[in-house]
Chains A and B, each alone.
Chain A
Amino acid sequence: MNRLDRDQMAARVARDIPEGAYVNLGIGLPTKVANFLPADREILLQSENGLLGMGPAPAPGEEDWELINAGKQAVTLLPGGCYFHHGDSFAMMRGGHIDICVLGAFQVSVKGDLANWHTGGADAIPAVGGAMDLAIGAKQTFVMMELLTRQGQSKLVEACTYPLTGIGCVSRIYTDLGVFAVGPDGARVVETVDGVSVDDLRTLTALPLGSALAV
């Protein structure tokens, strides 16, 4: 079956981020979205450790370790960008000032519940960081993930079995096989990758997915 690779997934997410948006990209896979933002749109990236107007990575040797992103990688600040403390940063998030947040996930439910911080394993050391604040704070939360686990299980599920990060917070899921809308009315296929049908996705997820697309 045809699948998008991770760069193609990032490019697909980037296409849906509009001119003028304030955006937070979660650590890990979503960070790639920054590489594909259309050059003709002014989009401001927020990093929850205290900067707005984040620029690309500096040239090797130019790193300033007091200028980092949430993943603790060296970054730069665009002209017009600014710094602020953690209280203000999470007010931007929790107060609904950020338009879009893109996060990775272990599982998302058809209602938009998100599980992405903890496997619940007895020997795992839990770490949550800003995940719970990001999930519920932005006006829209997008998830970017492969649809299936390495074992072939769907990560889009009827109900999450991993510990929740937030309830009903996700609106869209961008995967390697298609794009889904989720929420109070359940899950719907918005778009499929070339060569993948809505029925294929119903089979892979074992979910009664709605869709306005031709089957």
Chain B
Amino acid sequence: MIDKQFTDAHAAVADIQDGASVMIGGFGTAGMPDELIDALIARDVRDVTVISNNAGNGDTGLAALVREGRVRKIVCSFPRQADSHHFDTAFRAGKIELELVPQGNLAARIQAAGAGLGAIFTPTGYGTLLADGKETRTIDGRNYVLEYPIRADFALIKALRGDRWGNLVFSKTARNFGPIMAMAATTTIAQIAETVPLGALDPETVVTPGIFVQRIVAIPRAAARSAA
């Protein structure tokens, strides 16, 4: 019997080691898997490379991981915001490395990894600082930059509902990077608000097929930190 359910967040992240690469879903705090990150912080893992859209907002989730000094490098599109104080402090102190990637290229490179592609030619960034030194090509009169896939050892994502096979549906704009990160990581761990029986999710509307998800942890919304 396939059963991807883990009873708690700590057990689900127990094999994430020092130096791991970890994708973290979310756009700002929407879709940020706070409880999985709390469990990671509790394990005292060091030198993590994080791939996420932002570099942490406020004091929870990815921001807390940065504050605790666990992140060696972050690959993201938009680190600097009004509430990115933990990242700003670490960056200015030289304690964290930043690789800045345009948001659409971040998505496309993650998708390339999930789809098994060797690289992509993207028009975004052509002729800018973020394409300095990169191979380019003109195809049908349009200029492109060669970019390589971004994959990771783990993806930590947040969805709304899932079943024991790992099929997922998401909540509104909290979906964002979740489905594509699930495809690009060796081990994808999804925290969900509710576990449902097989067959309860309409197969026509499953967003992430269970084959892309290795572990699910039910964290009911009433127990989630946002409500605590």
Count chain A CB atoms within 10 A of each CB in B79, B91, B129, B177 and give the residue with the most.
B129
B9 located at the interface, meaning its Cβ lies under 8 Å from any Cβ of chain A in the complex: no
**With A130-B102, A130-B103, A133-B105 known to touch, is A164 a contact of B127 (CB < 8 Å)?**
yes
CA gap between A51 and B170 in the complex, in Å: 13
Which of B30, B88, B102 is the one whose CB lies under 8 Å from A68?
Answer: B30
Chain B contacts of A64 at CB under 8 A? 172
Which residues in A have their C-beta under 8 angstroms from that of B171? 66
Q: Does A132 contact B (CB under 8 A)?
A: yes
Q: Does A72 contact B (CB under 8 A)?
A: yes
Asked if B102 and A128 make an inter-chain contact with CB atoms under 8 angstroms apart, the answer reads yes
Is B175 part of the contact surface with A, judged by Cβ < 8 Å?
Answer: yes
Chain B residues contacting A127 (CB-CB under 8 Å) are: 77-81, 100
A65 to B28, CA, bound (A): 10
A127 to B129 CA separation, bound complex (whole angstroms): 12
Interface of B, secondary structure class, is: mixed
In chain A, positions 84-102 with a C-beta closer than 8 Å to chain B are 84-87, 89-90, 93-94
Check if B210 is an interface residue, CB within 8 A of chain A.
no
Q: Quick check: A125 and B80 within 8 Å, CB to CB? A: yes
Q: Is the CB of A87 within 8 A of B180?
A: yes
Per-residue contact bits, chain B 78-103, to A (CB 8 Å; 1 contact, 0 not):
11110000001001100000101111
Interface residue tally on B, bucketed by range = 35 or more
Does A29 make an interface contact (CB < 8 A)?
no
- When C-beta atoms are compared, the residue in chain B nearest to A94 turns out to be B104
B167 at the binding interface (Cβ < 8 Å): no
**Is A137 among interface residues, defined by CB-CB distance under 8 A?**
yes
Cα–Cα, bound, A166→B171 (Å) = 33
Nearest-neighbor residue (CB-CB) of A117 within chain B: B128
Q: Is the CB of B173 within 8 A of A90?
A: no
Minimum Cβ distance to chain B for residue A58 (Å): 12
B108-A132 in contact (CB<8A): no
How many residues belonging to A are interface residues under a CB distance threshold of 8 Å? 38
Interface status of A163 (Cβ within 8 A of chain B): yes
A130 touches B80 (CB 8 A): no
Q: A128-B78, A164-B127 are in contact. Are A133 and B102 (CB under 8 A)?
A: yes
Find out whether the CB atom of B102 lies under 8 angstroms from the CB atom of A126.
no
B97 to chain A, nearest CB (A): 13
CB distance from A141 to the nearest CB of B (A): 13
Q: Using known A-B contacts A86-B180, A125-B88, A125-B91, determine if residue A131 contacts B28 with beta carbons closer than 8 Å.
A: no
B-contacting residues, A46-104, CB 8 Å = 47-51, 64-68, 72, 77, 83-87, 89-90, 93-94
A90 near B104: Cβ-Cβ < 8 Å: yes
The 0/1 profile, CB within 8 Å of B marked 1, for residues 160-200 of chain A is 00011111000000000000000000000000000000000
Tell me, in angstroms, the Cα distance from A83 to B27 when the chains sit together.
Answer: 14
Q: Does B111 contact A (CB under 8 A)?
A: yes
Question: Are A118 and B102 touching (Cβ within 8 A)?
Answer: no
For A128, give the chain B residue with the smallest CB separation: B102
Q: Which of B77, B124, B170 has the largest count of A CB atoms less than 10 A from its CB? A: B124
Tell me the B residues contacting A by CB distance below 8 Å.
27-31, 53, 57, 77-81, 88, 91-92, 98, 100-108, 110-111, 122-130, 143, 170-180, 207, 226
Provide a sorted-by-A list of 18 A–B residue pairs whose CB atoms are within 8 angstroms. Answer: A66-B172, A72-B28, A77-B172, A85-B175, A86-B27, A86-B107, A86-B176, A86-B180, A87-B108, A87-B111, A89-B107, A125-B79, A125-B80, A125-B92, A136-B124, A137-B104, A137-B124, A165-B128
